[in-house]
Amino acid sequence: MVNKMVNMIRKEMTPRQEALLKSVEEFILEHGYGPTIRQIGARLGIASPSAVFKHVLSLERKGYLKRERGELRRAGAAPGPDAGRFRVPLAGLVPAGTPREAFDFSGGAMDIPEWMIGRRRGNVFCIRVEGKSMIDAYIDDGDNVLLERTSSANSGEMVVAMLDDGSVTLKRLRRENDKTFLVPENPAFRPFEVENVRVLGRVIGVLRKY
């Protein structure tokens, strides 16, 4: 009886509330975090923040929205097959061994668990690794590595770096005594010093299919 009453309450949405709920969902998909009251109003053409807030409160009471740490989130919906997934661009092979020519984005994409992306949406890409120079960091030949686009990284972080000749490689960045090294995670490979290195991305995750 209780479940039936809850379902009846949840069905009572006005067309404006349905539009607002859809707007919140779309904003979260685009940005990775919930919109503010004014952002919702701007998307829906509602000039009054108090009017938007009333609709939000109503949707919270009906169980469609919830606030977590001050952010709006979708609540109570059964997840679909693609729920919790996000598509990121897929780049070409990147050698975890001897540096090779720069990769190109193939136009393909991969579905990545949303929790691995967080608020980095639009700033993440994926590469396929070729080689075993990073095996001791649990990155093997054929693994898909998720990277955050960045032009800087701290010493000790794993990065995809571009060298002076345009070649790229996946290594751990080390800075010691005003020198910069790209360091493999496999004793069969040797670190090498680089004069100028351009960081293209910082490793944030590894995806592997057995």
pLDDT (0 to 100) of residue 27: 81
The total number of structural domains in the chain stands at 2
User: Long-range contact list for 41-49, CB < 8 A, 24+ apart?
Assistant: 44/16, 44/19, 44/20
Task: Classify residue 43: in a domain, yes or no.
Answer: yes
Task: Pick the catalytic residue from 152, 167, 171, 209.
Answer: 171
| Helices and strands, number each (H, E), in the chain | 5, 12
pLDDT (0 to 100) of residue 120: 67
Query: Does one domain contain both 125 and 180?
Result: yes
| CATH code, domain with 21 | 1.10.10.10
Query: Does one domain contain both 69 and 95?
Result: no
Query: Does one domain contain both 39 and 127?
Result: no
| CATH code, domain with 164 | 2.10.109.10
Q: Which of 15, 46, 74 represents a domain boundary (last residue)?
A: 74
Task: Classify residue 80: in a domain, yes or no.
Answer: no
pLDDT (0 to 100) of residue 172: 93
What confidence tens digit (pLDDT) does each residue in 184-198 have?
A: 999 899 999 988 888
Is 171 catalytic? The answer is: yes
Is 133 catalytic? The answer is: yes
- Does position 11 have pLDDT exceeding 60, yes or no? no
pLDDT (0 to 100) of residue 101: 55
Task: Classify residue 155: in a domain, yes or no.
Answer: yes
Rounded Cα gap, residues 200 and 161, in angstroms:
6
Query: Does one domain contain both 167 and 138?
Result: yes
Query: Does one domain contain both 147 and 197?
Result: yes
Query: Does one domain contain both 67 and 101?
Result: no
Query: Does one domain contain both 45 and 110?
Result: no
Query: Does one domain contain both 95 and 156?
Result: yes
DSSP assignment letter at 96: S
Query: Does one domain contain both 130 and 172?
Result: yes
Structural domain for 11, as ranges: 2-74
3-state helix, strand, coil in the chain (%, to 5): 25, 35, 40
Mean pLDDT, residues 85-98 taken together:
73
What confidence tens digit (pLDDT) does each residue in 129-185 have?
A: 888 899 888 888 888 899 888 888 999 999 999 888 888 889 999 998 889 999 999
What confidence tens digit (pLDDT) does each residue in 15-34 have?
A: 999 999 888 888 876 666 77
Task: Classify residue 163: in a domain, yes or no.
Answer: yes
What confidence tens digit (pLDDT) does each residue in 93-129 have?
A: 676 777 665 555 555 777 777 777 766 666 888 888 8
Query: Does one domain contain both 110 and 151?
Result: yes
Task: Pick the catalytic residue from 133, 155, 179, 209.
Answer: 133
> Angle at the Cα of 151 (from 148 to 153), degrees rounded to 5?
75
Query: Does one domain contain both 102 and 143?
Result: yes
Query: Does one domain contain both 31 and 121?
Result: no
